[in-house]
Amino acid sequence: MTSHLTPLSPAADSAAGAANPRRRTVVLAAAATAALAPIALGASAARAAETAPAFLHGVASGDPLPDGVLLWTRVTPAPEAVPGSGLGPDTAVGWEVAEDKAFSRVVARGSVTASAASDHTVKVDVRGLRPHTPYWYRFTAGATVSPAARTLTAPAADAATAGVRFGVVSCSNWESGYFSAYRHLAARTDLDAVLHLGDYIYEYQTGEYPAAKYVVRPHEPKNEIVSLADYRIRHGQYKTDRDAQALHAAHPIVAIWDDHEFADNAWSGGATNHTPATEGDWAARAAAAKQAYFEWMPVRASIAGTVYRRLRFGNLADLHLLDLRSFRSEQVKAGSGAVDDPERTITGRAQLDWLKAGLAGSTATWKLVGTSVMISPVAFGSLPAQLLQPLTHLLGLPEGGLAVNTDQWDGYTDDRKELLGHLKDRNIKNTVFLTGDIHMAWANDVPVNMATYPGSGTVGTEFVVTSVTSDNIDDTLHVLPHTVSVVAESAIKAANWHVKWLDMDSHGYGVLDVTAERSQMDYYVVSDKRRQDATSSWARSYRTLNGTQKVERVDQPVR
């Protein structure tokens, strides 16, 4: 992919307003080299592409900065140029950014060349924009114009910021249901960005998770995704979801990956759901997954081609985003004692040092940490057999029900001890961990020492959002929500005093509202993930006040 910049005319520049800073634009292009066999996404996409060139996968923006934002789309230049096919001609794609939806005040424009090498995806890193300002953007290919979408830049790094508000989601499995949570977030006009905490796609073959008789809509390709073409096809399918397109068109996205963007329980050298004898070298599969991710997601590749990075929202919040799959040691069996081995890591040395330095050096009121797996320790106490079995499936526990989930920070206690000790020793206040992964909603204090909590104190709080669609307890047991799970929730809270709330059955999303006085998570649930027209309702709210490092319940959501 190559880029071509078209400068604004003096008249257009004047119309944009004299207060605008000088505009400069940096265009980033994802490049890949692969010989790929033609693989069709599906008959419906192929029929739609007969009017090519077309923008069948929507448009998106992400990683907002005070002076810019990353823009994304995918063009289908010919009917055969479906995702993963490796087919289709190089195609010039124009883009423009305006201050209004009618595009009468264009402030930046340019063009790039989309090619099969990047699966005809386009990424444009636009700079020279004004802080905390809404903009509209669109793309063109020949006479075809993409839908127009809205984005929002971040506040200036040193700006006195009254508040920021994020949608928060995770775990969106296509086969398990519809992404109505995305639709309800797209309808909101009060969000600065949406934070996706991982498992944006799932890698399984169709009918594996959930079982075939419970599949709402089948995956493409039908096989488990392993090759670069496979990952591209799967990403392409998810980008055809109308609610996902609406979400991306309404708000900038800030995303990190978890395991299912690769394979279940991924670690630096493999995954539970990877068999080298039949699926090849793990390094090649992981590289393919990463390439497709950066092609198809509006995310800037960060340090060493990973997703750990830092965004700032005025003087109010630093958002530290983690990559907990690329560097971690292999998961161990619970109860082996190896969870405490200081040679094992979930972050890798460089990332942990980066995070510690960022937290200590932050001048923001709030230190938000996007972590794909739960950092709070959890013991599971004594549970009935019918509840223990689905919990072992969801949380990766051994059948014996020992009190640790080794895929989370519980399996890497030395890294956690070092990080939490750093927060305590440096007296770092107002650290809020934002988490997904386990298809449940939690509100936790993060204790210095779980065994002596609350006497030992806390070093932060944690808000865990439930899944968009991925199965949880009631789905696994095929029972009505909030029936048998109530017993498990009570047992977990009894064994974990720092857990203030737990919902094991709902699906939905969170809205995090941050002000100088507090950070509050409002939890919303959808009525039925299997219905495309599912409604949304508020469930609970929890907050932590500035300086307290304690979670408390709130009677209503923010307005």
DSSP letter for each residue of 62-94:
EEEETTEEEEEEE-B-STT--TTS--S--EEEE
Q: What is the pLDDT of residues 422-440, one digit of tens each?
A: 999 999 999 999 999 999 9
Mapped onto helix, strand or coil, the DSSP state of residue 366 is strand
Q: Residue 381: its pLDDT value, please?
A: 67
Q: Residue 491: its pLDDT value, please?
A: 86
**Over 260-297, what HEC string results?**
CCCCCCEECCEECCCCHHHHCCHHHHHHHHHHHHHHHC
Q: What is the pLDDT of residues 336-358, one digit of tens each?
A: 778 889 999 999 999 999 999 99
Q: What is the pLDDT of residues 374-408, one digit of tens each?
A: 999 998 766 666 676 677 667 665 444 444 689 99
pTM across the whole model: 0.89
pLDDT band at 222 (very low <50, low <70, confident <90, very high): very high
Least confident span in 214-223, 260-269, 374-383: 374-383
Task: Name beta bridge partners: 69.
Answer: 126
Task: For 447, list phi and psi in degrees, rounded to 5.
Answer: -80, 150
Nearest alpha carbon to residue 252 among 325, 357, 129, 166: 166
Q: What is the pLDDT of residues 103-134, one digit of tens each?
A: 999 999 999 999 999 999 999 999 999 999 99
Mapped onto helix, strand or coil, the DSSP state of residue 371 is strand
Query: Exposed, middle or buried: residue 437 (CB in 10 Å: 0-12, 13-18, 19+)?
Result: buried
pLDDT band at 13 (very low <50, low <70, confident <90, very high): very low
Greatest alpha-carbon span in the chain: 73
By the 8 A CB rule, do 412 and 339 touch? yes
Give the Å distances, CA to CA, from 111 to 97, 294, 517.
12, 20, 44
Q: Do domains 3-152 and 163-554 have the same CATH topology?
A: no
Q: Quickly count: other Cβ atoms within 10 Å of residue 271's Cβ.
A: 22
DSSP 164: E
143, pLDDT greater than 60: yes
Q: How far apart are CA 248 and CA 215, in angstroms?
A: 25
Q: Which fold has domain 163-554?
A: Purple Acid Phosphatase; chain A, domain 2 (3.60.21)
By the 8 A CB rule, do 508 and 516 touch? no
- The one-letter code for the residue type at 91 is T
DSSP letter for each residue of 454-519:
TTT-EEEEEEE---SSS--HHHHHT--TTSTHHHHHHHHHHH-TTEEEEESS--EEEEEEEESSEE
Mapped onto helix, strand or coil, the DSSP state of residue 145 is strand
Q: How far apart are CA 159 and CA 421, in angstroms?
A: 31
CB-based burial, 73-108: b 16+ in 10 Å, e otherwise: bbbbbbbebbbbbbbbeebbbbbbbbbeeebebbbb
What's the whole-number mean pLDDT along residues 256-280?
98
Instruction: Estimate to the nearest angstrom the gap between the alpha carbon of 84 and the chain centroid.
Output: 22
11, pLDDT greater than 70: no
Higher pLDDT, 214 or 456: 214
**Every domain of the chain and the residues it spans:** 3-152, 163-554
Mapped onto helix, strand or coil, the DSSP state of residue 199 is coil
Look at domain 3-152 and name its CATH class. Answer: mainly beta
Q: In what order do the strands lie in the sheet with 309-313?
A: 309-313, 317-321, 366-371, 431-435, 458-464, 441-447, 499-503
Q: What is the pLDDT of residues 291-310, one digit of tens each?
A: 999 999 999 988 778 999 99
Q: Residue 385: its pLDDT value, please?
A: 62
Q: Residue 336: its pLDDT value, please?
A: 74
Least confident span in 13-22, 105-114, 243-252, 478-487: 13-22
pLDDT band at 18 (very low <50, low <70, confident <90, very high): very low
Q: Residue 382: its pLDDT value, please?
A: 65
- Secondary structure element (H or E) that encloses residue 59, with its range: strand 59-65
Higher pLDDT, 386 or 200: 200
174, pLDDT greater than 90: yes
- The one-letter code for the residue type at 27 is V
20, pLDDT greater than 50: no
Q: How far apart are CA 307 and CA 347, in angstroms?
A: 12
Q: Quickly count: other Cβ atoms within 10 Å of residue 492's Cβ.
A: 20
Q: What is the pLDDT of residues 32-89, one digit of tens each?
A: 323 233 333 444 444 444 567 999 999 999 999 999 999 999 999 999 999 999 999 9
Q: What is the mean pLDDT of the chain?
A: 89
Q: Residue 390: its pLDDT value, please?
A: 76
Phi-psi group of 72: left, alpha or beta (phi > 0 → left; psi -120 to 50 → alpha; rest → beta): beta
Nearest alpha carbon to residue 28 among 64, 59, 70, 66: 70
- What are the residues whose beta carbons fall under 8 Å from the beta carbon of 330, sequence distance 6 or more? 267, 268, 269, 270
By the 8 A CB rule, do 190 and 165 touch? yes
Q: Residue 32: its pLDDT value, please?
A: 31
Tokens read off for 468: 């968009």
Q: Residue 394: its pLDDT value, please?
A: 72
Higher pLDDT, 396 or 492: 492
Q: Among all chains, which residue has been given the structure tokens 């500035």?
A: 546
pLDDT band at 239 (very low <50, low <70, confident <90, very high): very high
